[in-house]
Amino acid sequence: MIAPSRSPAWKWWITGLLLLATTINYMDRQTLANAAVRVTKEFQLNQEQYGDLEMAFGWAFAVGSLVFGFLADRFRVYWLYPIVLTGWSLMGIASAHTSGYESLLICRVLLGFFEAGHWPCALKTTFALLEPKDRTMGNSVLQSGASIGAVVTPPLMLWLMTSETSSWRLAFEVIGAIGLVWVLIWFASIRRTELDVTIPESVGVTDGLWAILKGRKFWALAILIFGAQTCWHLFRVWLPKFMQEGRGYTETEALAFNSAYYIGTDIGCFGAGLISLGLVRHFSLSAHDARRRVFQGACLLTSCSIFVLWLPKGWGLMVAILLVGAGALALFPCYYSFVQELSDRHVGRLTGLLSTWVWAVSSPMHKFFGRLVDSTHSFDLGMALAGLVPWIGVVALAFLWKDKSRSCVQE
C-alpha cells in the first residue's frame, strides 16, 4: 500500500489530513447556523426562507453523494479530492460576498453539492492507504472530525465577529480559506500515484442488490434513518436561533453552549458503542438485539426535547438539550451497524443509496420547521417534535425487521 520510501507513520499523517478535511467540511457547513441571526436580520429573511436555505443545501448534498460516488470510482482521488475541497471552500468564501437571499441560496446549493464529495474521496483514500486491519481505526479518526468541526466553529466565529451585524462575512472568508490551505498541504504530502489501487473486476456485483432494495429490512432502515437524520439536523441548524431568539440568550452564550452541545453528542456516540458491547459481553444479547436496545435508549434521550415546551431559560433547559444531543448522535452507530447486517457485499452501495434518499426527503423539514415558527412565533413545538421523530425507527424495526437472528460477529 505505502511507497517503499515512505515512513510507516506517513499513512497516519494522511489519515490526520482526512480528519482535518472532515473538520473543515463541518466548519463550512456550520457557519450559516452560527451566524443565522445576523444573516436573517441583514437580509430580512423570515424563518421559512432560512429553512429553504438548509433545504437547498440538503438536496444538493443528495445529488452530490451520487455524482461524486460515481466519480471517485473512476478518477484519481489525488486530483478529485482537492477539486472537491476547493469547490466547497470557494463557495464558503463566496457566501461572504452575497447581497441577498437569492445569491446566498446559490452558494448554499453549490456548497452542499461539493461537500458531499468529501465522503467518497476520504473513504477511497483510507481504502488505498491502510491495510484492512487498520481501516476501522482510520475511518474512526476520519469521522471524529465532524464533532471537532462543530465544537471549534462557534468560538472561532465569536473571535472573528464584532458587534457589527455584517462582520459574519469575515468569518465565512477565513473558514473558507482554511480549506484552500488544506489543498496545498495535500499536494505537498502525496505523490500522484501513491493512492492508486488495482481492483479486480467484480463478478456479479449487482447480484442480490435488487432483492435487498425490495425487502422489508431495507425500508425499515430507510424509515429509521429519516427519523434519526431529521432529529440530528433540525437541532444542528436551528439550535443557535432557538437559544437566541426563542430563549433570549446572547450570541456569545448561545454559541458557547453550541460547542458544549457537540461535546455531548460525541459522548453519546462513544457511549452507544460501549453500551452495545457491554450488553453483548455481560448480558449475552446478540449484537442485533443489543443495538436495538441502544437505539431505543437513544430515542428516550432525544425525547427529552419535550421538556422544551415548559422549561424557561436556565440550567434545566440546557441539560435537557444536552441529553437530546447525546441521544441524537448515538442513533447513528446503531444505524451503520444495521446497514452492515443487510449485506456483506453491498454495504457501500446501500449506504450511498440510503444517504441520497435521506438527504432528499429530510431536507424539506427545515422549510416546514421555519413555516411552523413563523405561524406560531415560537420554536418550542418544532424543537419538541424533532426529538420525538426517531421513534418511527423503533416502530419500523418492530414491524419490518422481525428476523433478529443475523448479527455482525464483531462490534
Res. 203 pLDDT band, cuts 50 70 90: very low
61 and 118 both lie in a single domain: yes
Per DSSP (E only), the strands in 161-301 are: none
CA distance 148 to 20: 9
For the cut 90, the answer to whether the pLDDT of residue 295 exceeds it is: yes
Q: What is the pTM of this model?
A: 0.74
Residue 145 lies in a domain: yes
Domains: count for the chain = 2
Q: What letter would DSSP give residue 117?
A: T
What CATH number does residue 376 fall under? Answer: 1.20.1250.20
Backbone region of residue 331 per phi and psi (left: phi > 0; alpha: psi in -120 to 50; beta: other values): alpha
Residue 377 lies in a domain: yes
Return mean pLDDT, the chain.
Answer: 84
Res. 139 pLDDT band, cuts 50 70 90: low
35 and 172 both lie in a single domain: yes
Residue 308 lies in a domain: yes
Q: How many CB atoms lie within 10 A of CB 392?
A: 16
172 and 230 both lie in a single domain: no
CA distance 26 to 149: 5
Res. 21 pLDDT band, cuts 50 70 90: very high
For the cut 50, the answer to whether the pLDDT of residue 153 exceeds it is: yes
For residue 89, what pLDDT is reported?
Answer: 95
87 and 153 both lie in a single domain: yes
Residue 100 lies in a domain: yes
Residue 173 lies in a domain: yes
Encode pLDDT of 163-173 as tens digits: 888 889 999 99
From residue 214, alpha-carbon distances to 66, 128, 208 in Å are 20, 32, 10
162 and 72 both lie in a single domain: yes
C-alpha cell at 25: 467540511
Non-local CB neighbours of 46 within 8 Å, separated by 6+ positions: 40, 370, 374
Encode pLDDT of 55-65 as tens digits: 899 889 988 98
Amino acid in the structure at residue 367: K
CA distance 390 to 225: 8
For the cut 60, the answer to whether the pLDDT of residue 199 exceeds it is: no
Range of the structural domain that residue 322 is part of = 208-402
Non-local CB neighbours of 206 within 8 Å, separated by 6+ positions: none
Out of 192, 226, 249, a domain closes at 192
Residue 1 lies in a domain: no
Out of 161, 192, 223, a domain closes at 192
Residue 152 lies in a domain: yes
Encode pLDDT of 92-131 as tens digits: 999 999 988 999 999 999 999 999 888 778 877 876 776 6
258 and 286 both lie in a single domain: yes
For the cut 90, the answer to whether the pLDDT of residue 178 exceeds it is: yes
For residue 136, what pLDDT is reported?
Answer: 47
266 and 153 both lie in a single domain: no
CA-only gyration radius of the chain, Å: 21
Backbone region of residue 3 per phi and psi (left: phi > 0; alpha: psi in -120 to 50; beta: other values): beta
For residue 137, what pLDDT is reported?
Answer: 52
Grid-cell match 482537492, residue found: 82
